[in-house]
Amino acid sequence: MLSNLAARDVETLIHPYTNLALVRETGPLVLERGHGVWVYDTDGRPYLEGMAGLWCTALGYSNEELVEAARDQMARLPFSHLFSGRSHDPAIELAETLKEIAPIPVSKVFFTSSGSEANDTQVKLTWYLNNALGRPRKKKIIAQRKGYHGVTVASASLTGLPANHADWDLPLPGFLHAACPHHYRGAEAGESEEAFSARLAAELDAFIQREDPDTVAAFIAEPVMGAGGAIVPPKGYFAAIQPVLARYDIRFIADEVICGFGRLGTWFGAEAMGVRPHSLSFAKAVTSAYMPLGGVTVEEPLYQAMLDESRKIGTFGHGTTYSGHPVACAVAIKALEIYRRDRIVEGAAEKAPHFQRRLSALAEHPLVGEARGVGLIGGLEIVADKASKRQYDPKAGVAARCVAFAQGEGLIVRFLAGDRIALCPPLVIAPDEIDTLFDRLGRALDRTA
């Protein structure tokens, strides 16, 4: 019997990324409020939010300073836009701060309202750049199988997951997918991580050559894959592929929508992975998700090409009503101030060894094939047989069952395709709460076994 709110929900809402048939039977989990790393349902039951919402509420749920920043900006100038040369101080100040903290040279910042729009913008800017440079054939974009970059038509084409393509008539032509850098699943018997990385780089090189390097414009990757399974790339992966991209003058975009702002114990994932992309996509934790905001960084050569195009054709024809929304920008400015003042990124790095030790210990569990992470993100994979890495029938929904048991224990974690479970708590999680998270997950795994 569904509660009143749950019954009204199933009569009215389409839930994103949800089995719509199943939720009609089970009803949704209706949350009412949050405090710190905890969220509470309508019966007042607490859950440790082990996913920071959707990899985003880095500063937890009750940050009054963020609320104040939003309230102040709403009272002062609740909306203005950046079209036709109009501006406002929150967008200017936020862009300045982002330029300061970005680990790569940034000429300008373009704001969006989500990660999907940020990656859509990356696709369009890459095409625009190559038209401006007089190389109209250089348009293909390579992403990775299991990479996640969003759901708009272009960003879903970048995404490398079957659920985003099957029955959606995607990916669009010109969107290609390279191998997923997952050592546990992709390496040959006895192949070291470094050797696997070198092989993937050689395969990428051959792939680009087959496609014709003059037609390949960009490569996009998450420093650590999120929705594709919380997958950490093998040692040396980015160091091996970056020279391949440079050889063919391919724009390298780091999708920092999850990894940006401290998740890996560094400001951006690119730093943790030792890469220097041309551009970053960001969203989520830039406001700790208190307001929707995303964006991309624009490198100087791209900006110069955009300037030239404006001189030739006039208007730069891209942007949405909410690009640089002043309230979202004000919240982001405050969030970044808190990250710096409260040493949130350094704190994540300090807590990471404890988090990773507890995660690695789960690899001893009879159901767990892989348990691996970096910083305060981790993924584990449930297998039917550890020695052979044989998986359960996907229809059995074993990881989904484990996540349901975790919810019963008062812990929110997320199951992903391939019987993977992701962990991504708010960066403000305390050490004893890390223990609570893993104790509860361990009990959920025991019940699943």
| Contact residues: ligand PLP, CB under 6 A | 54-55, 114-116, 119, 148-150, 222, 226-227, 255, 257-258, 283
Closer residue to ligand PLP in complex, CB, 149/420: 149
Q: How far is the CB of 422 from ligand PLP (least distance, A)?
A: 10
Q: Is 42 exposed, middle or buried (0-12, 13-18, 19+ CB in 10 A)?
A: middle
Handedness of CA 333, 336, 338, 340 (dihedral sign): negative
Residues 6+ apart with CB under 8 A from 4: none
Closer residue to ligand PLP in complex, CB, 222/381: 222
Asked if residue 90 has a cis previous peptide bond (ω within 30° of 0), the answer is no
Q: How far is the CB of 254 from ligand PLP (least distance, A)?
A: 10
Closer residue to ligand PLP in complex, CB, 283/402: 283
Q: How far is the CB of 16 from ligand PLP (least distance, A)?
A: 9
Is residue 208 a contact partner of residue 142, using CB atoms and an 8 Å limit? yes
Query: What is the rounded CA–CA span in Å between residue 301 and residue 21?
Result: 49
Closer residue to ligand PLP in complex, CB, 48/283: 283
Q: How far is the CB of 127 from ligand PLP (least distance, A)?
A: 19
Q: How far is the CB of 56 from ligand PLP (least distance, A)?
A: 8
Closer residue to ligand PLP in complex, CB, 150/375: 150
Q: How far is the CB of 149 from ligand PLP (least distance, A)?
A: 5
Closer residue to ligand PLP in complex, CB, 39/280: 280
Closer residue to ligand PLP in complex, CB, 114/323: 114
Q: How far is the CB of 284 from ligand PLP (least distance, A)?
A: 7
Residues 6+ apart with CB under 8 A from 147: 158, 159, 160, 177, 180, 220, 221, 222, 225, 228, 255
Q: How far is the CB of 304 from ligand PLP (least distance, A)?
A: 27
Closer residue to ligand PLP in complex, CB, 254/367: 254
Question: What does DSSP say about strands 368-374 and 38-41: parallel, antiparallel, or unpaired?
Answer: unpaired
Q: How far is the CB of 257 from ligand PLP (least distance, A)?
A: 3
Is residue 146 a contact partner of residue 160, using CB atoms and an 8 Å limit? yes
Residues 6+ apart with CB under 8 A from 88: 77, 80, 82, 324, 326, 329
Closer residue to ligand PLP in complex, CB, 148/175: 148
Torsion angle (degrees, nearest 10) of CA 241, 220, 159, 101 = 120
The residue sitting closest to ligand PLP, measured at its beta carbon, is 115
Strand arrangement of the beta sheet that strand 377-382 belongs to = 368-374, 377-382, 420-423, 414-416
From residue 65, alpha-carbon distances to 54, 56, 174, 341 in Å are 21, 17, 45, 13
Closer residue to ligand PLP in complex, CB, 115/326: 115
Q: How far is the CB of 112 from ligand PLP (least distance, A)?
A: 9
Taking phi first (over 0 means left), then psi (-120 to 50 degrees means alpha), and beta for anything else, what does residue 152 get? beta
